[in-house]
Structure 1
Amino acid sequence: MNHITRCSIRMCYLHNNFIGHIFQPKKTFRKFSVCQCSTFYRFSILTSKSKLLTKCIEKDVSRCNFSQSNPPSNKLPPLMDFPKITWPSLIKSVRNFILATFIIKPYFDGDFNLSDFVIGSKKAVEVVSKKIAEGDIKSLNGLVTSDVIPALQRAASLMSLSQREQIAVDIEDIYFGFPYQVGVIFNEENDQKRFVEVTMVFHALRGLSIMKARGEEPPLNMGMLPEYQNRISICNYRFIKEFTKGVESDWTINLLNHFKPIDEAQE
């Protein structure tokens, strides 16, 4: 019996015209060779004419994982079709300040303040992300716009339990956040309708609050360290509020997304 340590994957026709993956040794032996994995036992006999006869004995499952070096990807699928934003833009930051200070505050909302908005939006990210992780999408009614709920339901249905758990964000795990873009919208059909949109970006490190409770601080280059890379996620949330005269409205979310920088780097 020879133990085969180097194998390559080839395609062959089995009995009944079945096409399957087999392990074929790099060298030719005239003895039995056995390849074993969690779902199949494959017995290969190499004849003197170098013809390979293969018999597969299938166990309880139908798929075999041939490579330990390539585990199934746990990459987060996009929650919504939304461009991924990671860092602030200098030009947009200047424009945001002008809009917030000289347009929104004097003409829309005298109490509007970007610093306060950042704090409030952090809490919204925590609440919404945990509801998504729990699969409780319907309870987001009122926190997100009506068109967001079916999009999140579709995205959640494509996620594994492990992927959904990665969506949840604790407010204490957020270590960096900024308003990426502030916009004022006027309805073309009705000049009286006015809206304000604010796109927020947050960086979170899963388990950061626990580290701080132990008196530990993550290194500044944690994004380069493998032990931290899979714990870092970025949240993009766009908030909207109607400021039409005589209309009472609350801030709601009309677009959102979560992603991990390490996934983007590996693409």
Structure 2
Amino acid sequence: MTLVIENISKKIQNKTVLHNINFELNEGEIVGLVGRNGAGKTTLFGTIAGELLPDFGRIGLNELDYINTTTLHDQLFYVDMPDNWLKYYSPQKIKEILKIAYKDFDEDWYDLEITRFDLNNGKRIRNYSKGMRALFMIIVSFASRAPYILLDEPLDGLDVLIRDQVKQMIVNQVIEHNTTVLIASHNLVELDTLVDRILLLKNQTIDRTFSIEGNKNIKKYQLAFVGDKLPEFLRGSGTIIAQTGHIVTIVFNDFVEAIGIKLAGPDFKFVEELPISSEDIFRASFAKEAHAWQQELEEEA
């Protein structure tokens, strides 16, 4: 089964938010959706889920129109964060509601996780802390047993220890139930150990897809150069992401044999290859965007 997002466009108050969006989600994969704040991630999620109607395009599932086929609506789970109807109810009441909406709702697993994380079963969600609300949304999403789950900034507000447990929960549920998860985030580091591939939402459309496995030609090195001046070929061949004195960390977008030969030459005291991450791939592929992205994150911090 494949969820197909085909030529989706959406305007809000005469402003184009999404334009000609195309991608597919296959069974059992975790896909990241990244974009700067205001890029349209939440609008895209709402459109896929049918909360917003697209101006053009279709959402297809099993060759059927998902939005216009009500029997398919329990195949996808999405609730907008942080404000949604769930906040007015307790976990116990929410369970009773969702058991009707989702025929495969996993009541036993839901109860087990609510107890495991010490979430008050009789307390309204709006009275939870930010972290508890985020944790509850992960639990209720997977308890739905919908084959497709959309998570919007799911790790926001979680402390380090809970975040690691939630990441493991996501991975376990995908493996055990062959669930497909689309995770929207502006934090590439959080996605790095979770996703199979990443979609970049830019200029109202999916600008491109990238993954570590699909970018073997991208390499990351830490090196120390000889002399007072940075070898000129480095700036032309890669993206420098850190420099302290003569020590440079650099990502090469297209690492070829000629670069390797130069790195092995007398201009360098030492050269060490480092593990590559999704953030490194983003930086290498979109140097200007990466600089703007980093500035935005620093301003938010």
Under TM normalisation by the shorter chain, which class is it?
under 0.3
Greater relative contact order, per chain length (Cα 8 Å cut-off, separation 6+): 2
The normalised TM-score by structure 2 is: 0.25
Q: Comparing both structures, which one devotes a greater share of its residues to helix?
A: 2
**Rg bigger for which structure?**
1
